[in-house]
């Protein structure tokens, strides 16, 4: 039987010079194809090789520009008057990590940031000032420093500053949104409310009485789907819990005392895409190094300290105080130190890693 085989079948490919390969890549490019073997190692790295770098925003540097922005544009014209915290290695992409957006928002006494809704979930962490409120689903909540407030996906929300005589200074908060994730999925929708401020239909505090007193309604569905029904987690309660735990319970050698905020209906994170944490580094704390796949954004609430961040042999040290912000990217090794003690808020995309079964943490 006569079997005609191609000339190279069963043999090693003939040595090809790079010019021949380049010509080949050029030929297939016409047909929107490219060779996997040129990119395979970058596509499937042996460990996360994030393009993000650690970033630090000292409040003393940021504050004058926040105030200046207050003179340049009103909250109403801006819709949201925010200075975006961009990862220094991802400028122009409006993100602090590849999956998360962060910004510092300022509202002046008397201003309103008009009501709208979008599929992106948002968190607010109040940095300073009194007299502002956020409205979600017909209920307002006062924004006090250290409060963690959420805007569930597709709920109308607006912010305002009442400018009371006893609370007449600008209010600044950290915004965290899952914007890059929704962009990745091409699942972003948004619309404006017909009115600047949504009608208030419930007295302030009703949500926390209903869901935030370690009790739940006997009947009824989750009002915001996979998102927590609680939209304000006030700092006074968080602070007391961490303080008492620091004094009377075990201190974790890596984290100090660290708690996660919780959706009381599920036990999971407050939002499906973002986890939030508050941690206390006791006075004299010298932490052990750890790394995790979820890059995290930090807002310093109280005290002072420093964090050593190590990645691929390079060490970056941030020395932080109140209202400073910083980002520790994925798989960067972090080690905490605090002489006087410190309180840190943080958020990350951990729930998504966990939902996909790819979350990793390594504690040295
Ligand atoms: C938004 O709605 C807020 O509601 C803050 O305060 C930041 C960034 C991009 C898109 C929507 C807010 C935002 C945002």
Domains of the chain: 55-363 (2.60.120.10)
For atom 1 of ligand 1, the residue with the nearest CA is: 80
pLDDT bin (cut points 50, 70, 90) of residue 7 is: low
Q: What b/e string do you get for 204-240 counting C-beta neighbours within 10 Å, with b at 16 or more?
A: eeebbebbbeeeeeeeeeebbebbbbbbbbbbeebbe
Report how far ligand 1's centroid is from the alpha carbon of 259 (Å): 26
From 5-19, 94-108, 198-212, the region with the lowest mean pLDDT: 5-19
More confident residue, 134 or 4: 134
Ligand 1 contact, 80 CB (< 6 A):
yes
SS3 content of the chain, % helix, strand, coil (to 5): 20, 35, 50
Rounded mean pLDDT, 168-186: 97
Query: Would you list the DSSP string of 302-360?
Result: EE-EEEEEEETTEEEEEEE-TT-EEEE-TT-EEEEEESS-EEEEEEESHHHHHHHT---
Ligand 1 contact, 157 CB (< 6 A):
yes
pLDDT bin (cut points 50, 70, 90) of residue 216 is: very high
Residue 339 in this model has a pLDDT that exceeds 90 = yes
Report how far ligand 1's centroid is from the alpha carbon of 80 (Å): 6
Ligand 1 contact, 175 CB (< 6 A):
yes
For atom 12 of ligand 1, the residue with the nearest CA is: 80
pLDDT digits (tens, 9 = 90+) for 52-80: 999 999 999 999 999 999 999 999 999 99
Our mutation pick for probing the ligand 1 site, out of 69, 81, 82, 274, counting the most ligand atoms within 8 A of Cβ, is: 82
pLDDT bin (cut points 50, 70, 90) of residue 9 is: low
Average pLDDT score over the chain: 95
Q: What is the pLDDT of residue 17?
A: 74
Ligand 1 contact, 82 CB (< 6 A):
yes
Q: How much of the chain, in percent, has pLDDT values that exceed 70?
A: 96
Q: What is the pLDDT of residue 6?
A: 55
Residue 1 in this model has a pLDDT that exceeds 50 = no
Q: What is the pLDDT of residue 16?
A: 62
Ligand 1 contact, 177 CB (< 6 A):
yes
Report how far ligand 1's centroid is from the alpha carbon of 27 (Å): 45
Our mutation pick for probing the ligand 1 site, out of 80, 101, 102, 153, counting the most ligand atoms within 8 A of Cβ, is: 80
For atom 13 of ligand 1, the residue with the nearest CA is: 80
For atom 3 of ligand 1, the residue with the nearest CA is: 80
Q: What is the pLDDT of residue 90?
A: 98
Residue 13 in this model has a pLDDT that exceeds 90 = no
Report how far ligand 1's centroid is from the alpha carbon of 275 (Å): 18
Q: What is the pLDDT of residue 12?
A: 59
Report how far ligand 1's centroid is from the alpha carbon of 8 (Å): 60
Query: Would you list the DSSP string of 291-312?
Result: EESS-EEEEEEEE-EEEEEEET
Q: What is the pLDDT of residue 11?
A: 59
Report CA dihedral (350, 355, 356, 359) to the nearest 10 degrees: 40
SS3 210: helix
Residue 243 in this model has a pLDDT that exceeds 50 = yes
pLDDT digits (tens, 9 = 90+) for 254-310: 999 999 999 999 999 999 999 999 999 999 999 999 999 999 999 999 999 999 999
67 φ/ψ angles, rounded to the nearest 5 degrees: -70, -40
- Whether the model clears a pTM of 0.85, i.e. scores above it, the answer is yes
pLDDT digits (tens, 9 = 90+) for 35-45: 999 999 999 99
Ligand 1 contact, 343 CB (< 6 A):
no
């Amino acid at each position: 039987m006569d079997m005609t085989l191609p000339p190279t079948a069963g043999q090693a490919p003939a040595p090809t010079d790079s010019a021949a390969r380049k010509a080949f890549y050029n030929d297939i490019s016409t047909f929107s194809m490219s060779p996997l073997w040129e990119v395979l190692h970058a596509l499937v790295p042996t460990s996360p090789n994030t393009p993000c770098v650690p970033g630090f925003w000292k409040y003393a540097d940021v504050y004058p520009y926040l105030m200046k922005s207050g003179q340049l544009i009103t909250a109403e014209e801006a819709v949201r008057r925010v200075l975006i915290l961009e990862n220094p290695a991802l400028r122009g992409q409006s993100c602090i990590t590849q999956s998360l957006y962060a910004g510092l928002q300022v509202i002046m006494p008397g201003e309103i940031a008009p009501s709208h809704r979008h599929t992106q979930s948002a968190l607010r962490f109040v940095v300073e000032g009194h007299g502002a409120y956020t409205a979600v689903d017909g209920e307002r909540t006062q924004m006090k420093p250290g409060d963690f407030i959420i805007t569930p996906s597709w709920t109308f929300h607006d912010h305002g500053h009442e400018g009371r005589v006893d609370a007449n200074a600008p209010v600044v908060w950290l915004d965290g949104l899952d914007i890059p994730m929704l962009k990745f999925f091409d699942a972003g929708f948004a619309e404006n409310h017909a009115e600047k401020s949504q009608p208030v239909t419930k007295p302030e505090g009703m949500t926390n009485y209903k869901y935030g007193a370690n009790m739940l309604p006997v009947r009824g569905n989750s009002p915001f789907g996979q998102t927590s029904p609680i939209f304000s987690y006030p700092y006074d309660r968080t602070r007391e819990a961490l303080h008492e735990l620091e004094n009377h319970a075990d201190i974790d050698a890596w984290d100090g005392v660290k708690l996660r905020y919780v959706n009381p209906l599920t036990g999971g994170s407050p939002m499906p895409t973002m986890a939030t944490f508050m941690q206390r580094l006791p006075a004299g704390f010298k932490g052990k190094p750890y790394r995790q796949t979820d890059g995290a954004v930090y807002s310093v609430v109280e005290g002072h300290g420093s964090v050593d961040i190590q990645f691929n042999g390079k060490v970056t040290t941030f020395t932080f105080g109140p209202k400073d912000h910083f980002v520790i990217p994925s798989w960067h090794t972090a080690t905490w130190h605090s002489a006087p003690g410190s309180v840190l808020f943080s958020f990350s995309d951990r729930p998504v890693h966990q939902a996909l079964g790819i979350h990793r943490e390594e504690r040295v």
